[in-house]
Amino acid sequence: MPYITKDQDAQYSIYYEDLGQGEPVILIHGWPLSGKSWELQIQALLDAGHRVITYDRRGFGQSFVSSNGYDYDTLAEDLHQLISHLELRKPALVGFSMGGGEVIRYITNYGSDNISKIALVASIIPLVKKKDDNPDGVPQEKLDEIINNLKDDRLNFLESFHMDFYNYGILSKSVSQKQLDYDWNIASQASPIATIKAAESWANTDFRSEVGAVTVPVLIVHGDDDKVVPIKTAGDQAAQLIGHSQYHVISGAPHGLNITHAEELNPILIEFLKQ
């Protein structure tokens, strides 16, 4: 099985999948899932002639578990290890939800000379938390509630979270119970430590000072019915801060639009990658 390892760290083991040929695209999954969450994008990108790389964030999927290292600097370093290990030249980076943080922090820490373009899909960029200067963010008490629920009854919380992920029972265009079961199985097997500490990272990291330095082409896609990462604090604000970005709002789409609205997302993503 394909893993990235470090000789000096016997515990370090990042699982990845590398499929196809052509211009490389790295798909970075959201919280609290794994690379499997890109199922409906992988084949579409392969059919469009891309080399498609997915990987599991540390502590999730088949990657190793550590007691720390879930801050964005370390997570961006893991992405850097992947790019270096595969000797990728000018990959495109696509970050979903939490994965948008790795994309932006990677560019902050490693530059964009070797990156062709980036896409932020239902991303947490630039800021999730509500602040005096970010009134449309998620209130601190709601974020605290998430962490407390993870600590008290993680498995029960994950079930309800994924219903919110897809606006299950609200949207006419949602997902099946089997999709919810599938997501729960993936998320429940992630490290409890990783699940909590990664949530603290996406909830508390402010990328507003970083996004203005992005110079490569940028695609932003967000659903206007996202109840997990509200569009006003994320997509709308990211588009304002990254003036040269292409911004697509998918009407009626929830947070998990890569599943519910794949037939709309995939052509947008493929067309952007062609440019």
Catalytically active residues, by annotation: 97, 226, 255
- For the stretch 113-151, what's the b/e string if a residue is b when 16 or more beta carbons lie within 10 angstroms of its beta carbon? eebbbbbbbbbbbbbbbbeeebeebbeeeebeebbeebe
Task: Say which amino acid occupies 254.
Answer: P
**C-alpha torsion sign, points 170, 39, 35, 154:** positive
- Judge whether 221 and 235 are in contact, CB under 8 Å: yes
Question: Residue 81 corresponds to which tokens in the numbers above?
Answer: 């290890």
What distance in Å separates the CA atoms of residue 14 and residue 89, rounded to the nearest whole number? 20
